[in-house]
Structure 1
Amino acid sequence: MKPTSPLNRPLNGIHALNTTKHILIAGCGNLGLRAAHLLLQQGHVVYGLKRNPPGQPMNAQTTSPQIQWIQADLCQPDSMQALPEKISDIIYCPTPPQRTETAYRAIFIQGLNNLLGALDTTWLKRLVFISSSAVYGEHHGNWVDENTPLLPLGVNGQVLQAAEQHVHALPYETIVLRLSGLYGPEKQQLLARIRASQTRVPRHETHYANRIHIEDAAAAIVHCLALPTPAPCYLVNDNTPLPIDELYDWLANAMQVPCPPEGAPPAGIGNKRLSNALLLESGFRLRWPDTKQGYLALLKDPPIQI
């Protein structure tokens, strides 16, 4: 049965932090940047570590708090010689340059070791590690949660499973967030593929797609970072896992393009429905609980700049 998810509470229930924290976002791309802005709004000091951070705008005349950028490569220990002191929390959310076992191990396991080895961890209390629902295997369309056994089908999921085990063995409070497929203003690859007739869908068996709006994913990170007694792991997904053919056909109709033809389901991810019950029980509320409504808003509005 589908787990119940109460929806009659305030949206995006982010717990306010009581004290100013110094937070390092390692791999501060689109997702990390959104989390950074939320944390700055709460009054925290935020550092964004990135291989190629953005430069400060020439006309920046503002007194509002800004991300303090660090140019470094997690896979190059020598590039992390001048990390800030008194970091209390780390959000680890890098993106590997390729979908290979070598690249995943370099960034998710060795990269984290490099960061912790270069950082003065005297003040470090909590680490939030961004993982993926790829750690789950084939579940024949059944519901899965944080207690479901992990049997990843691809090397990305296998490396992330090993990375999660490594994270939980660290001498700090650690939280693993297993994110489903991201979509949003910065994540429109699926829409582009459907427009270009580059997608296929299984039509003779139900195969589920799981999604989370990038805005909700960032808010979930900030929410979990502030929880006084967090669980070791949370699934971050919206309330509406949908059959792939239903979702893709709906998107095609909304964009007034042909529906995708019959084809095999995406390889290496398995067929499952992700339960977000534990995350909702912690007090989090989604702004975009329904995948179709989230995509509809995305199709109606132009991409935003954050």
Structure 2
Amino acid sequence: MHSLIVGCGDTGVRVAARAVAAGDTVTGVVRSAQSAARVRAVGAHALVLDLDHDTLDLPACDRLFYFAPPQREGETDTRMRRVLSAMTGAPRFAVYISTSGVYGDCAGEWVDEDRPVNAESDRAKRRVDAEQQMLEFCSHACVLRAPGIYGPNRLPVQRVLDGTPILNDADGGFSNRIHIDDLAAIAWRVGTRVMPHRVYNASDGHPTGLGIYYDTLSHMLDVESPPRISWAEAEQRFSAMRLSFLRESRRLRNQRLLTDSGYVFSFADFRDGLAASLRAQAPLD
């Protein structure tokens, strides 16, 4: 079996290691020599490409893992369109990691995969387009709608140490998350079998207010919790991108994923995930 991982970054390298261990021939598509070295370190082949501009000479594969984000502008994912057009044929299995942002703001309601998408930003619209492309390309493709991905070196440690304010609990909504190790394990699992459904919420299933997450991390770092600010002040201090995330509130259900895959989370409790991530975190400069 040949696994092709397009966008073989932090999540992709973890999937590549699993695929190599399973006996697959693995090719990871990356943008830089540094990323290529990480791919080779787990026993996979590395292919350095600019997905937007280079001629895409891609190997045939049995499993396609597509983890590359869309380009930064527009309402369609032209990057994915180039990649899929360059494929010699549809693989037996395909996995695309999308985002739960395709649901838009749900006012804190519980959300399962039957809820219609309601992309409110161009960023989310590009993801909806990418999902549709992948589902049309491969009859057994699975879309994983992931929320905030955390893990070693993917924590807001510096913000906490700097005392950067966060939105107060009254103005904030629910946040959802998944540890990167769980996300990679789920991606590999659904990429090795025909799943009963084609879209899954890849979340740990335990949404909380954002303040709880930051307070827990602060406690683990033995520093004061970040100060809270109102929405009006946040609009003056935060970037448009950060505000767009904060405007959306939903609680993701993951029962379909648990039932269909039988997966048992390593870090369903984000507190355990934070503790493990901090132990593995590279020291800050």
TM-score normalised to the size of structure 2? 0.85
The match for 2:86 is 118
What are the residue-to-residue correspondences of 1:23-172 with 2, within 5 Å?
23-54=3-34, 66-78=43-55, 80-81=56-57, 83-85=58-60, 87-96=61-70, 100-102=72-74, 105=76, 109-121=77-89, 124-172=91-139
Residue matched to 1:13: none
Q: 1:37 to 1:199 in 2, by over 3 A?
A: farther
The 2-side partners of 1:167 and 1:119 are apart by 12
Q: Which residue type is aligned with residue 151 of structure 1? A: N
Amino acid at match of 1:76: H
Deviation of the 1:147 alpha carbon: 0.9
Match of 1:5 in 2: none
SS of 1:32 mapped into structure 2: helix
Match of 2:237 in 1: none
Q: 1:301 to 1:128 in 2, by over 3 A?
A: closer
Deviation at 1:129? Answer: 1.2
Distance 1:268 1:138 in 2: 10
Structure 1, gaps ≥5 residues long: 1-20
Contact 2:2–2:26 (8 Å) recurs in 1:
yes
Structure 2 alignment gaps of length 5 or more: 235-241
CA distance in 1, matches of 2:94, 2:52: 19
Give the 3 Å change call, closer, same or farther, for CA 151–22 of structure 1 in structure 2: same
- The reply to whether residue 173 of structure 1 matches residue 153 of structure 2 is no
**Could you tell me which residue of structure 1 aligns to residue 239 of structure 2?**
none
Aligned equivalents of 2:280, 2:32: Cα separation in 1: 29
How far, CA to CA, are the matches of 1:52 and 1:295 in structure 2? 29
- Shift in alpha-carbon separation, 1:171–1:180, aligned structure 2, 3 A: closer
Calculate the aligned-residue CA RMSD, in Å: 2.4
Relative to structure 1, is the Cα distance of residues 204 and 88 closer, same or farther in structure 2, using a 3 angstrom cutoff?
A: same
For the residues of structure 2 that align with 1:203 and 1:258, how far apart are their CA atoms?
17
Q: Please identify which structure carries the higher helix content.
A: 2
Question: Secondary structure of 2:191's match?
Answer: helix
Could you say if the C-alpha distance between residues 178 and 53 of structure 1 is closer, same or farther in structure 2, counting changes exceeding 3 Å?
Answer: farther
Selected match of 1:278 from 253, 256, 268: 256
1:137-286 residue pairs with structure 2 within 5 A? 137-188=104-155, 190-205=156-171, 207-263=173-229, 264=231, 267-269=243-245, 270-282=248-260, 283-286=262-265
Equivalents in 2 of 1:111, 1:240: separation in Å? 33
Please state whether the residue corresponding to 1:124 is helix, strand or coil: coil
Query: Whose RCO is larger (CA < 8 A, sep 6+)?
Result: 1
The aligned residue for residue 288 of structure 1 is 267
Aligned residues: 268
151-160 vs 164-173, greater mean Cα deviation? 164-173
Q: 1:16 matched to which residue of 2?
A: none
TM-score for the superposition, normalised by structure 1:
0.80
Pairwise CA distance, 1:120: 1.7
Q: CA deviation at 1:278?
A: 0.9
What SS does structure 1 have at the residue aligned with 2:118? coil
Q: CA separation of 1:230/1:289 partners in 2, compared to 1, >3 Å: closer, same or farther?
A: same
